[in-house]
Structure formats: C-alpha cells, structure tokens
C-alpha cells in the first residue's frame, strides 16, 4: 500500500529550535531605536518583552534549547503529521511528488501556538501579568489567548476591524479562552483615537492594531507585548515545523526540490524552510524556496527593502525589511493573516541574499486552488494557506509541462474552519481580485523614515 502519512513518535519533538542567523553569509541589518537611530539595546526592549525572548531575538547561537514545560505542551499536537498528497497529485496528473506538513492539528488550528506557548511561558517566568497583542484573522489572537490560559496570564487582543466583523467565531474562541477583545482601531488608545479621528470608517490594519497593543504594554509595567510573526524569536520558535519535516522527509525517502510557504509576516514560511536553508548553506541539498504572498499586499514582490516602522503610529523600533510603507492599509481581502505592510527582517534579508524567491497570487486563484485541494485531500485550508496551495499548484503544473519528476514540500499552516464566511462568499461568486494598490503604496512609501539605509 502507498504511504500517505509520516508520523514521528512523541519523543521526536525537537529538543532545540534552530537559529539560522549564525549560518548566514552576511549578518542582517541591526534593529534601530526610533529616537536615536542607534542599534537597540536589550534595555530598550524590556518594557515590551521579557529578557528570555530579547536574548533569542539577538542570539548568535545556532541551537536554543526548548524549555521542558514548552515541550510538554507541544506534545499535545506535535510532532505534526507530514502527508503525501497522492490524490491531489493524481487529480493534477503531475509527475511531481507533493508533501505537506499539516499545522492545522494544533488546538487553535494553525502553526501559531508553536510560538504563542513559549512566548507566554517566558513571560510567566519573568512576572508578566498580562499580554497585549494584535490579531488579523484571529489565528494569532486565539493562539495567544489559549497559551495565556495555560500559564495563568491575562490576554488583551486588538483585532483588525474588518476581521472582527468578518470572523465573529474567532472572536468567540478568544473570549472562550478568557481574552478581552476589542476591534481596532479602538477608542481605548491614543493611536486608535488618532486613526478614528482621521478615518472614522477605517477597517483597520495589522500596523494599526500593533500600535494599540504596543501602547497598552508601554503604559503598564505589568503588561508586556507579544507579536505573532515577523520577529526573529517568532521565526525561531516555528523551526520545530521544519526540523520535524526534515526527519519525516527522510522517512519518506525523498528530499524536497522545492519548498513553498505563504507569507504574511513570514513565520510559517520560515519555520518550514529555515532548517532546510541552513542545511543548504552547509552544502547539503539545494532546494528552491518560494514565498507566496497576496497580490493585494505584495511586500516581497513590490515593496522596498528599507528601514521602516513595524506599526502605523511609529511606536516600534525601525527594522530593515521589504515594506509597502507603515501607513499602507491593505484592501479587505479574506486572508487576514497576510495583510501586513512589511515582511520579517530575516525573510527580507534572505530574499536580498538570493536564498529565496517570492511570487504574488490573486485572491480568486488562491481560493480556486484551495477548493481543488480540499476536494482531493479533504482538508479545507485557511485562506492564508490557500496562497501556498496556489504556489504549489504552479510548481506541480510546471513539472507536468516539463515532464520532470520533482519533490515539492509545503506548509499547510492552518485549516479554514473558522473562515467559512470567506468560502460562502467565494462559492457565491462574491469574492474578487484586488488591483495592486499602486497609488496608496507609493504614498505610503513616500513616508518611509528618511536618513536611514
Ligand atoms: C497568521 C497566519 C499566517 C501568516 O503569518 P506568517 O507569520 O506569515 O505565517 C498564515 N497562515 C495562517 C494559517 C495564519 O494563521
């Protein structure tokens, strides 16, 4: 019988996260203080993050031990399964072998708990009482709310307005886990009130919601801030995905020629690909690595590689990344987790080094691919993950055209069970493609901080 599923025993959960930074041929640009424009110090970050995470953010160690209590929680759903998509391969009539690492098996339904759990744990160790955060589609908010519940922390979530209205079930899940949820922009912060004064109808953005959560954390000594993507320590925590996949591909007796992931802030993509890129840098294997982003928010394919703020109100440090400008508010397409103006500095740096590629796909193409995938494999992907599926589809069809066998591995980073309104709209023919918002992006890029390169 053909094998569909590659499972690792519980004791094969990785014991350490993999930090790609020391293996890179050139170090990434430093993070700068927004006032002095000098590299930030750990002390600058302490009001927002616990020292355990700040140390990881700047670490030069290739391996960072996963705390025992974190591994205990991981055990509930890790190691996650690796599947071979045999029925989808057949439906596509492609010679390619397609594998997917399925992160929808976590209780919150995505890869996000891989970092929510350690973030809550490190905060608990250092006496934090409450975490404030932002969420787009609600995947991150629900993951952090769950992790806070596990470790007895309070959780405050600013949820991007358009998702708050489109995805009421995610909000209900966060509240069930005990979190307090407000639509962003809200009237609870100066940043939110400022946006509402200028744009009373604002549908919000991750950049605005980040400003609100950072502001709350900065003003309260017992509250710290938590981010679900973008930062080095978040990408680090996600490497459990790729480390497991390395072993599982070995079980399958294959090695990927192409690795694909969708990119919002870059964490699920990095989690799967960094361990493979690390091996490539050490001369082992040579996969192409493809990031897939939405055409309506194309930071990697249309953005500028420059220092920018991580948020709209300019409260965060300056990071060098591919950005569309911190004031850019993307159109309200359904992949809420991909509506961020920037890309993780590490992913940006890897693109700049030529170690990865990036493509953009339209909303309708991503849903069409996701629905075909569901009909073949049974799992309905999250709208974000549909972008990865569309990227894989392209690669599989290219393999067919060229008549070559090729092994493709992708991150199926979450299921879409909380995103059914998006599928209702898609099935009713109500979803549309969005033009690349060139004018708004030009305007937002014109506002990039001057004098830093
Ligand atoms: C949050 C989210 C994303 C986007 O975030 P990344 O950091 O780019 O991974 C993608 N897919 C799912 C399912 C998400 O929840």
Over residues 206-227, the pLDDT tens digits come to 999 999 999 999 999 999 999 9
Residue ID of nearest Cα to ligand 1 atom 2? 337
Whether 410 has a pLDDT exceeding 80, the answer reads yes
Q: Ligand 1 centroid vs 417 CA: distance in angstroms?
A: 15
Instruction: Count CA atoms closer than 13 A to 222's CA, side-chain side.
Output: 6
Picking from 121, 118, 107, 115, the residue whose alpha carbon sits closest to that of residue 152 is 121
Instruction: Output the pLDDT for position 405.
Output: 94
Picking from 411, 260, 413, the residue whose alpha carbon sits closest to that of residue 335 is 413
Whether 2 has a pLDDT exceeding 90, the answer reads no
Please give the average per-residue pLDDT across 37-54, as a whole number: 96
As a whole number, the mean pLDDT across the chain is: 96
Residue ID of nearest Cα to ligand 1 atom 5? 264
Residue ID of nearest Cα to ligand 1 atom 1? 337
Rounded CA-CA distance 309/317 in Å is: 6
Ligand 1 site, residue 115, Cβ cutoff 6 A:
no
Please give the average per-residue pLDDT across 428-432, as a whole number: 95
Ligand 1 site, residue 263, Cβ cutoff 6 A:
yes
CA dihedral 181, 187, 190, 191 (to 10 degrees): 60
Q: Ligand 1 centroid vs 268 CA: distance in angstroms?
A: 6
Ligand 1 atom closest to 104 (CA): 13
Q: Ligand 1 centroid vs 257 CA: distance in angstroms?
A: 23
Please give the average per-residue pLDDT across 154-163, as a whole number: 95
Whether 60 has a pLDDT exceeding 90, the answer reads yes
Q: Ligand 1 centroid vs 301 CA: distance in angstroms?
A: 18
Ligand 1 site, residue 235, Cβ cutoff 6 A:
no
Please give the average per-residue pLDDT across 19-25, as a whole number: 98
Whether 452 has a pLDDT exceeding 90, the answer reads no
Whether 336 has a pLDDT exceeding 90, the answer reads no
Picking from 355, 390, 348, the residue whose alpha carbon sits closest to that of residue 369 is 390
> What residues contact residue 305 under an 8 Å CB cut-off, 6+ apart?
320, 321, 322, 348, 351, 352
Helix (H, G, I), strand (E, B) or coil at 415: strand
Ligand 1 atom closest to 271 (CA): 9
1: pLDDT confidence band, cut at 50, 70 and 90? low
**In the CATH scheme, what architecture does the domain 4-10+67-109+233-445 have?**
3-Layer(aba) Sandwich (3.40)
Q: Ligand 1 centroid vs 338 CA: distance in angstroms?
A: 7
Please give the average per-residue pLDDT across 404-428, as a whole number: 96
45: pLDDT confidence band, cut at 50, 70 and 90? very high
Ligand 1 site, residue 267, Cβ cutoff 6 A:
yes
Please give the average per-residue pLDDT across 42-56, as a whole number: 96
435: pLDDT confidence band, cut at 50, 70 and 90? confident
Q: Are 348 and 305 in contact (CB under 8 A)?
A: yes
Instruction: Output the pLDDT for position 335.
Output: 76
Q: Are 170 and 147 in contact (CB under 8 A)?
A: no
371: pLDDT confidence band, cut at 50, 70 and 90? very high
Rounded CA-CA distance 311/7 in Å is: 40
Ligand 1 site, residue 268, Cβ cutoff 6 A:
yes
Rounded CA-CA distance 348/351 in Å is: 5
Q: Which of 260, 383, 384 to mutate to test the pocket of ligand 1 (most atoms within 8 A of CB)?
A: 384
Instruction: Output the pLDDT for position 409.
Output: 98
pTM for the complete prediction? Answer: 0.97
Ligand 1 site, residue 426, Cβ cutoff 6 A:
no
Q: Which of 267, 272, 340, 389 to mutate to test the pocket of ligand 1 (most atoms within 8 A of CB)?
A: 267
200: pLDDT confidence band, cut at 50, 70 and 90? very high
Residue ID of nearest Cα to ligand 1 atom 3? 337
Q: Ligand 1 centroid vs 416 CA: distance in angstroms?
A: 12
450: pLDDT confidence band, cut at 50, 70 and 90? confident
- Segments making up each domain of the chain, as ranges: 4-10+67-109+233-445
Q: Within its chain, how far is the Cα of 50 from the centroid? A: 21
Q: Which of 206, 227, 262, 293 to mutate to test the pocket of ligand 1 (most atoms within 8 A of CB)?
A: 262
pLDDT digits over 94-145, tens only?
A: 999 999 999 999 999 999 999 999 999 999 999 999 999 999 989 999 999 9
Whether 424 has a pLDDT exceeding 80, the answer reads yes
251: pLDDT confidence band, cut at 50, 70 and 90? very high
Ligand 1 site, residue 110, Cβ cutoff 6 A:
yes
Ligand 1 site, residue 112, Cβ cutoff 6 A:
yes
Residue ID of nearest Cα to ligand 1 atom 7? 267
Instruction: Output the pLDDT for position 82.
Output: 98
Ligand 1 site, residue 337, Cβ cutoff 6 A:
yes
Please give the average per-residue pLDDT across 171-190, as a whole number: 97
């Amino acid at each position: 019988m053909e094998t569909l599923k590659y499972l690792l025993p519980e004791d094969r959960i990785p014991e350490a996260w993999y930090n790609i930074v020391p293996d890179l041929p050139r170090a990434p640009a430093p993070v700068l203080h927004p006032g002095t424009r000098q590299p930030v110090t750990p002390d600058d970050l302490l009001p927002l993050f616990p020292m355990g995470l700040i140390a990881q953010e700047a670490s030069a160690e290739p391996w960072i031990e996963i705390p025992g209590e974190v591994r205990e929680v991981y055990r509930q759903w890790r190691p996650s399964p690796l599947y071979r998509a045999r029925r989808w391969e057949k439906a596509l009539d492609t010679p390619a072998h397609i594998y997917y690492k399925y992160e929808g098996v976590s209780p919150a339904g995505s890869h996000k708990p891989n970092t929510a759990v350690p973030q809550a744990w490190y905060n608990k160790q250092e006496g934090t009482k409450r975490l404030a955060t932002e969420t787009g589609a609600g995947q991150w908010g629900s993951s952090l709310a769950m992790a806070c519940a596990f470790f007895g922390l309070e959780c405050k979530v600013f949820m991007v307005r358009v998702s708050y209205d489109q995805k009421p079930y995610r909000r209900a899940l966060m509240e069930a886990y005990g979190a307090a949820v407000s639509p962003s922009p809200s009237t609870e912060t100066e940043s939110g009130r400022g946006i509402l004064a200028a744009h009373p109808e604002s549908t919000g953005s991750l950049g605005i919601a980040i400003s609100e959560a950072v502001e709350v954390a900065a003003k309260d000594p017992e509250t710290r801030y938590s981010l679900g993507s973008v930062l080095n320590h978040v990408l680090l925590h996600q490497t459990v995905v790729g480390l497991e996949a390395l072993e599982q591909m070995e079980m399958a007796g294959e090695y990927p020629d192409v690795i694909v992931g969708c990119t919002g802030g870059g964490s699920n993509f990095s989690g799967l690909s960094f361990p493979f890129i690390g091996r490539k840098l050490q001369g082992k294997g040579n996969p192409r690595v493809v990031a897939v982003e939405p055409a309506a928010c194309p930071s990697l394919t249309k953005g500028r590689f420059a220092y920018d703020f991580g948020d709209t109100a300019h409260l965060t440090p300056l990071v060098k990344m591919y950005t569309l400008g911190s004031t850019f508010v993307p159109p309200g397409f359904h992949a809420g987790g991909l509506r961020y103006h920037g890309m993780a500095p590490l992913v940006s740096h890897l693109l700049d080094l030529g170690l990865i590629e990036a493509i953009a796909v339209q909303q309708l193409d991503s849903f069409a691919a996701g629905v075909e995938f569901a009909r073949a494999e049974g799992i309905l992907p999250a709208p974000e993950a549909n972008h990865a599926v569309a990227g894989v589809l392209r690669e599989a069809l290219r393999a067919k055209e060229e008549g070559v066998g090729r092994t493709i591995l992708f991150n199926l980073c979450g299921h879409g069970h909380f995103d059914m309104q998006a599928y209702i709209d898609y099935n009713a023919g109500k979803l549309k493609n969005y033009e690349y918002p060139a004018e708004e992006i030009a305007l937002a890029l014109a506002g990039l901080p001057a004098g830093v390169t």
